[in-house]
């Protein structure tokens, strides 16, 4: 009876955290959309940028969502302490995510370049530089943000598994679009 | 195997696969582009739905993985109390968040000069709800089934299953919405 009550309490808490994070993410997610709309004219300056965007935005959820999930699991299983320290686990996770970001950024850029060349017959290598530069730039901001937030939520009694998914994808969308705009400004 | 090598080995292939899927994801939307531009709320709701379904994928996989590593689940079974309750939580959250999203898209589109009649609102609500229910069901079953399979193979579901579920959410929501928009509007 006591166990059932405890589980019910935990499930209720989970539901509140999931729906709360989702509603906040939905509301703030529109900010990314507003940035994109306001920069719509710049998106045509480099051929292939529109091909790059869906994959580019998706990657942040994939790379950082997985990182937050790994950290969440490690915190729950007490593999790491709730204080953010320079442990080998954290260091290797950070290096792995930076490496993945650079490789995937390069791949996405090459893919956008090839699709644009094959479908539209346009050749412009700037798309590859924009992809890699924007991915590195966004990771520089998002990686520490994801690390700090996961530990902070855990210490405050929230389950990172419930809140970090919506948090990472929403902040990722906004930061990614800003990074793309900065990369465009640098490259053009 | 050290953590760095494990993450790179497990994630690389699936991330490359997800990149290819996402790069082609916009093609289905292109087919109903004219209808989307005509109906502003649809244009607003698509990225939000896309993100929301992906978010649920991340939540399901990370919670399930934590339970696996905590040894609270020892075999793949849908009858586990945790799995049943996670399903209930996600399903209920998906319905509430979808209703909120529809309402938000109607309000935001009003600022852009689009006035929705009751017929349109009902169609939009039903379309969004059908897409979300179908995809949440698919993602839930893949996350639990494939998550358990990956874990048994001594690989981390957080690395492998999250990119798969977000890609399914991405492609699935665009494809399903395109079909429903074509049929309903």
The candidate with the shortest Cα–Cα distance to B101, out of A22, A164, A65, A57, is A22
Give one DSSP letter per residue of B8-58, joined into a string.
Answer: HHHHHHHHHHHHHHHHHTHHHHHHTHHHHHHSHHHHHHHHHHHHHHHHHHH
Please check the confidence at residue A117 and state whether its pLDDT lies above 90. no
Q: What is the mean pLDDT of chain A?
A: 84
Question: What's the pLDDT score for residue A74?
Answer: 94
Count CA within 13 A, CB hemisphere, residue A183.
25
Radius of gyration of chain A (CA): 19
User: What is the pLDDT at residue A12?
Assistant: 78
Distance CA A76, CA A88 (A): 18
Tokens of B143: 């996350």
Distance of alpha carbon B107 from alpha carbon B50, whole angstroms: 19
C-alpha B21, offset from chain centre: 14
The confidence score (pLDDT) of residue B12 equals: 87
Is it the case that residue B59 has pLDDT exceeding 90? yes
pLDDT confidence bin for B75, thresholds 50/70/90 = low
Domains of chain B (ranges; CATH) run 3-184 (1.10.357.20)
Determine the residue among A55, A101, A120 to mutate to test chain B binding: the one whose Cβ has the most chain B Cβ atoms within 10 Å.
A55
B52 CB within 8 Å of a chain A CB: yes
Q: Is B114 exposed, middle or buried (0-12, 13-18, 19+ CB in 10 A)?
A: middle
pLDDT value at A27 more than 80: yes
Cross-chain Cβ contact B8/A100 below 8 Å? yes
Instruction: Please report residues of B whose CB lies closer than 8 A to that of A23.
Output: 96-97, 100
User: What's the gap in Å between the CA of A175 and the closest CA on chain B?
Assistant: 15
A46: left (phi over 0), alpha (psi -120 to 50) or beta: beta
Provide the chain B residues 83-102 that lie in CB contact (below 8 A) with chain A.
Answer: 85-86, 88-90, 92-93, 96-97, 100-101
Poorest-pLDDT segment among A49-63, A169-183, B3-17, B50-64: A49-63
d(Cα B14, Cα B1) in Å, to the nearest integer?
Answer: 19
Taking residues A157-177, report their average pLDDT: 90
pTM of the full structure: 0.87
- For residues B77 and B156, the answer to whether their CB atoms sit within 8 Å is no
Residue A69 is predicted with a pLDDT of 94
Q: Any idea what the Cα angle at residue B124 is, between residues B120 and B127, rounded to 5°?
A: 135
Stretch 131-170 of chain A: residues touching chain B, C-beta under 8 Å: 159-162, 164-166, 168-170
A1 falls in which pLDDT band (50, 70, 90)? Answer: very low
Average pLDDT of chain B is 84
Tokens linked to B97: 């968040």
Region B175-185: mean pLDDT is 75
Q: Which residues 55-94 of A have a C-beta within 8 angstroms of B?
A: 55, 58-59, 61-63, 65-66, 68-70, 72-73, 76-77, 88-89, 92-93
Closest by CA to B175, choosing from B131, B120, B118, is B131
What is the pLDDT averaged over residues B152-180?
85
Does the pLDDT at position B21 exceed 70?
yes
Chain A nearest C-alpha distance from B28 (Å):
13
Chain A touched by B171 (CB under 8 Å): no
Cα–Cα distance measured from residue B130 to residue B136, given in angstroms and rounded to the nearest whole number: 10
The ipTM is 0.85
Please give the average per-residue pLDDT across B61-73, as a whole number. Answer: 88
The two most distant CA atoms of chain B are separated, in Å, by: 60
Mean pLDDT of A31-43: 64
Q: Report residue B32's pLDDT band, with 50, 70 and 90 as the boundaries.
A: low
Mean pLDDT value across residues B108-123 = 84
Torsion of CA B144, A108, A71, B74, to 10 degrees: 20
């Amino acid at each position: 009876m006591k166990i059932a009550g405890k589980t019910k309490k935990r499930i209720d808490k989970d539901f509140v955290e999931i729906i709360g994070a989702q509603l906040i993410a939905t509301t703030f997610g529109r900010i990314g959309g507003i940035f994109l709309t306001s920069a719509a004219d710049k998106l045509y300056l480099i051929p292939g940028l529109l091909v790059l965007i869906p994959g580019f935005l998706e990657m942040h959820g994939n790379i950082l969502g997985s990182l937050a999930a790994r950290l969440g699991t490690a915190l729950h299983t007490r593999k790491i302490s709730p204080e953010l320290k320079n442990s080998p686990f954290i260091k290797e996770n950070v290096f792995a995510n930076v490496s993945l970001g650079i490789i995937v950024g390069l791949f996405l850029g090459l893919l956008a370049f090839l699709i644009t060349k094959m479908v539209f017959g346009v050749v412009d290598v700037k798309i590859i530089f924009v992809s890699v530069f924007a991915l590195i730039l966004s990771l520089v901001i998002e990686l520490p943000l994801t690390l700090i937030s996961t530990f902070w939520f855990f210490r405050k009694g929230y389950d990172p598994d419930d809140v970090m998914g919506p948090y990472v994808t929403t902040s990722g969308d906004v930061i990614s679009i800003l990074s793309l705009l900065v990369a465009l400004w640098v490259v053009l | 195997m050290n953590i760095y090598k494990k993450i790179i080995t497990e994630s690389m292939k699936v991330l490359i696969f997800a990149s290819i899927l996402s790069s082609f994801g916009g093609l289905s939307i292109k087919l109903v582009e004219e209808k989307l531009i005509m109906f502003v709320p649809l244009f607003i709701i698509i990225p939000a739905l896309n993100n929301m379904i992906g978010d649920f994928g991340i939540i399901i996989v990370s919670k399930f993985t934590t339970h696996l590593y905590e040894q609270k689940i020892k075999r793949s079974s849908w009858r586990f109390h945790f799995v049943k309750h996670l399903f209930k939580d996600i399903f209920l959250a998906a319905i509430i968040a979808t209703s909120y999203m529809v309402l938000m898209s109607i309000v935001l589109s009003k600022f852009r000069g689009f006035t929705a009649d009751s017929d349109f609102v009902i169609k939009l609500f039903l379309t969004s709800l059908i897409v979300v229910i179908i995809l949440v069901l698919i993602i839930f079953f893949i996350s639990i089934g494939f998550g358990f399979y990956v874990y048994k193979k001594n690989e981390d579901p957080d690395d492998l299953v999250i990119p798969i579920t977000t890609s399914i959410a991405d492609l699935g929501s665009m494809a399903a919405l395109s079909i429903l928009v074509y049929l309903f509007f």
